[in-house]
Structure 1
Amino acid sequence: MNSYYKVGQHIKVRVTGIQPYGAFVETPDNTEGLIHISEVMDDYVHNLKKFLSIGQIVRAKIISIDDEGKLNLSLKDNKYFKNYERKKGKRSVLDDIRETEKYGFQTIKERLPVWIEQSKEAIKDE
């Protein structure tokens, strides 16, 4: 086991493979590791390929080291992925319209005042 790495340490790793359950990574000294899908962010992640790609270098935190010296890593402390979670929480008025409106013959003139109020509320919340 490589004693160079310690639990809690942040290191840069390169993504070498992506599976439905996680991403395989490698350190510059060729130590292998895994970032489990549940360790990418606190939100539910359906498809890792939306966040990671082969060859990408990311900063990860070591959460455990197995007996063979393989690293189990987390991206939850990575600022990029935390910012992605925050952005996901902010929604535009258009997103609300797409989800709540039933498309039909209702005129824009009838709906415009409601949309304006929704926009004003969204601006106040920021």
Structure 2
Amino acid sequence: MNNHYQIGQHVKVKVAGIQPYGAFVETPDNTEGLIHISEIMNDYVHNLSRFLSEGQIVRAKILSIDEEGKLNLSLKDNDYFKNYERKKEKKSVLDEIKETEKYGFQTLEERLPVWIAQSKKMIKENKL
């Protein structure tokens, strides 16, 4: 076991592999670790590949060290991921309707082209 790592310490690690449940990482001295998907940020993370990629170097906090010396890490204290969380717009659909729609009745035929255009724009911006 590597005695120079301590719980609570921040270390730079390189992403070695990505699985649906988390990212395997290693330190510069080749100590292995795992960042579980629940430790990326406080929001729900559906696809880990949207946040991490193989070869990426990130700063992570050590949560625990097992008997074999492998590290259990978290990115929740990483400023980059905290800022990403804050950037996300947290609007309800009703807020969007109130901002963009006039009250009244419109037929599906009138609204469908607008909805399609909005959906295409959101897909293009990777928001959907």
TM-score, with length taken from structure 1: 0.74
Residue 89 of structure 2: aligned partner: 89
Q: Which runs of 5+ in 1 are unaligned?
A: 107-126
For residues 4-48 of structure 1, what are the alpha-carbon distances to aligned partners after superposition, in whole Å with 9 as ceiling and x for unaligned? 000000000000000000000000000000000000000000000
Residue 4 of structure 2: aligned partner: 4
Give the letter for the 2:24 counterpart.
F
Residue 43 of structure 2: aligned partner: 43
Residue 77 of structure 1: aligned partner: 77
Q: RMSD between aligned alpha carbons? A: 2.3
Aligned residues: 102
Structure 1 CA distance, aligned partners of 2:34 and 2:46? 17
For residues 75-98 of structure 1, what are the alpha-carbon distances to aligned partners after superposition, in whole Å with 9 as ceiling and x for unaligned? 00000000000001356xxx935x
Identity across matched positions, percent: 77
Structure 1 CA distance, aligned partners of 2:53 and 2:43? 19
The alignment status of 1:105 with 2:110, answered yes or no, reads yes
TM-score, with length taken from structure 2: 0.73
Secondary structure class of the residue paired with 1:84: helix
Q: Return structure 1 stretches of 4+ with deviation > 4 angstroms.
A: 100-104
Structure 1 CA distance, aligned partners of 2:109 and 2:34? 49
Secondary structure class of the residue paired with 2:12: strand
